[in-house]
């Protein structure tokens, strides 16, 4: 009897220690994978807005994390940020706010109605913040609304903005790049002063980066579908027509380009490298390690996973991914900016939908097993020409699944267990889950499978 008590106590202590370790791993990993909604530099400070309203701020030169400023800037419900040289703006679902440096607080400027739509972006054009919605652009301070025109193309016809990939505000124009995967994309421009819209459509490529250039703009057009990956640089006039088209770069994929006035250089992200771009062709400057791509919803390929690239000095850039912590790149040296951030429950829930798991069930189904027990895990990293994924082979004992054949389970499937809420960019895993750090090539949205237990999610048919 005493022996059994000792065994039970020992088991309880082991379970407690394992839980503490798992919680610690989860906290760190969730912080690293928190989703950024907006990122910008304002008065020498990199400001990144997390999903839910938390804000992280760093010195754009030293990379030091600014704890007090981060806390003051954070406001529950904020959806987007925008700034120019003099003002910092933010918006939630119903109001526009301006940052007051004197009181170190947000001041409500004006309320607005979304007319049943959610705000997608805030962009400053000529000093005035514009709110971008799917079917309209609003000037809340000026009280004007600009309805999105019919976006026409040989393969698509939309009366609204679908899949915005990149935006840019200049002194006189708002530029928006949309991407539809294998169906191409639109470059759309609006001049608020005249309420005039312009557009350009490419049936194969879509905008992945926009930067100002000599009275017009320069745009990176990329695509990734099946085994076809290519990119190009085009210079566009203010009417969106092409002024200069540089040579196509096969097996390349530009995203988030930026022109640096400090050294008169066009920079961008190409695959996993920071590059300088001249005459449309890249020169590698530094290697980035992290989640730089996302799953493309409209093609069998990848979509941009970098939120922005911001020049802050000669040969010095800030690179902000949508998931993970920013990088400070200076003279080819890459430093990851550290932080401590409180992540909301909404962030944690969102991680499960963003992280994919590639699993191969190697062991037999155990008809009498209760609950899922992952027995052993072997992970290996594989980098292809276009994507880097962490392919994980799982030998697992899983609960009985009605009407499911063993042969179908042995096949490789992409699925997302809800327990996978805390996986970092380099594949550090909780004890009960395995995940991919890179993008996956799956066309179907995640749907609940009727054949699998509730804790599993399946993409595709079993």
For residue range 225-259, list pLDDT tens digits in order: 988 999 999 999 999 999 999 999 999 999 999 99
| Res 260 pLDDT > 90 | yes
Q: Domain segments of the chain: what residues?
A: 2-29+355-459, 36-341
CA nearest to 305, candidates 185, 440, 122, 442: 440
| Res 126 pLDDT > 90 | yes
The percentage of the chain sitting over the pLDDT mark of 90, rounded to a whole number, equals 61
Residue 108: pLDDT band with limits 50, 70, 90: very high
| Res 86 pLDDT > 50 | yes
The percentage of the chain sitting over the pLDDT mark of 70, rounded to a whole number, equals 66
State residue 350's pLDDT score. 39
| Res 432 pLDDT > 60 | no
State residue 76's pLDDT score. 95
Query: Do 420 and 458 form a contact (C-beta atoms < 8 A)?
Result: no
Region 190-217 average pLDDT: 95
Residue 215: pLDDT band with limits 50, 70, 90: confident
| Res 266 pLDDT > 80 | yes
Residue 456: pLDDT band with limits 50, 70, 90: very low
State how far the Cα of 206 lies from the Cα of 184, in Å rounded to an integer. Answer: 5
Residue 299 token pair: 């093609």
State how far the Cα of 410 lies from the Cα of 406, in Å rounded to an integer. Answer: 6
Q: Which residue has the higher pLDDT, 422 or 103?
A: 103
CA angle, residues 206, 211, 187, in degrees to nearest 5: 35
Homologous superfamily, domain 36-341: YVTN repeat-like/Quinoprotein amine dehydrogenase (2.130.10.10)
Q: Which residue has the higher pLDDT, 462 or 96?
A: 96
Q: Which residue has the higher pLDDT, 309 or 395?
A: 309
State residue 8's pLDDT score. 53
**What are the residues whose beta carbons fall under 8 Å from the beta carbon of 303, sequence distance 6 or more?**
165, 179, 181, 224, 293, 294, 295, 296, 297, 439
State residue 319's pLDDT score. 97
């Amino acid at each position: 009897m005493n022996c059994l008590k000792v065994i039970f106590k020992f088991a309880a202590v082991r379970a407690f220690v394992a839980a503490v370790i798992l919680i610690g791993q989860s906290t760190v990993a969730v912080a690293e994978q928190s989703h950024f909604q907006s990122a910008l530099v304002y008065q020498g400070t990199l400001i990144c807005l997390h999903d839910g309203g938390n804000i992280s701020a760093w010195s754009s030169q030293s990379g030091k994390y600014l704890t007090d400023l981060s806390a003051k800037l954070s406001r529950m419900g904020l959806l987007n940020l925008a700034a120019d040289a003099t003002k910092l703006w933010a918006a939630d679902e119903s109001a526009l706010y301006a940052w007051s440096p004197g009181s170190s607080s947000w001041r409500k400027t004006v309320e607005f109605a979304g007319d049943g739509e959610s705000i997608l972006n805030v962009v400053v054009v000529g000093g005035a913040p514009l709110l971008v919605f799917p079917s309209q652009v609003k000037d809340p301070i000026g009280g004007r609304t600009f309805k999105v025109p019919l976006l026409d193309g040989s393969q698509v016809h939309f009366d609204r903005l679908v899949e915005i990939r990149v935006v840019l505000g200049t002194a006189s124009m708002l530029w928006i790049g949309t991407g539809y995967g294998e169906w191409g994309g639109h470059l759309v421009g609006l001049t608020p002063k005249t309420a005039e819209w312009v557009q350009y459509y490419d049936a194969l490529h879509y905008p992945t980066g926009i930067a100002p250039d000599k009275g017009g703009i320069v745009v990176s057009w990329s695509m990734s579908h099946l085994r076809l990956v290519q990119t190009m640089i085009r210079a566009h006039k203010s009417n969106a027509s092409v002024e200069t088209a540089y040579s196509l770069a096969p097996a390349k994929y530009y995203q988030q380009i930026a022109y640096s006035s400090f050294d008169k250089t066009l920079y961008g992200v190409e695959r996993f490298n920071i590059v300088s771009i001249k005459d449309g062709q890249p020169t590698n400057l530094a290697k980035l390690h992290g989640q730089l791509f996302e799953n493309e919803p409209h093609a069998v390929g990848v979509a941009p996973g970098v939120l922005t690239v911001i020049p802050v000095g000669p040969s010095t850039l800030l690179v902000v991914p949508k998931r993970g912590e920013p990088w400070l790149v200076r003279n080819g040296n890459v430093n990851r900016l550290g932080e401590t951030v409180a992540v909301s429950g909404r962030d944690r829930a969102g991680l499960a939908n963003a992280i994919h798991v590639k699993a191969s069930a190697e062991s037999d189904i155990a008809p009498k097993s209760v609950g899922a027990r992952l027995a052993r895990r072997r992970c290996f990293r594989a980098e292809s020409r276009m994507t880097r994924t962490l392919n994980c082979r799982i030998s697992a004992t899983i609960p009985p699944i009605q009407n499911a054949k063993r042969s179908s389970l042995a096949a490789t499937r992409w699925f997302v267990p809800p327990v996978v809420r805390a996986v970092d960019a380099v594949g550090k895993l909780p004890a009960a889950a395995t995940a991919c750090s890179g993008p996956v090539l799956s066309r179907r949205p995640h749907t609940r499978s009727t054949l699998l237990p509730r804790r599993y999610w399946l993409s595709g048919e079993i």
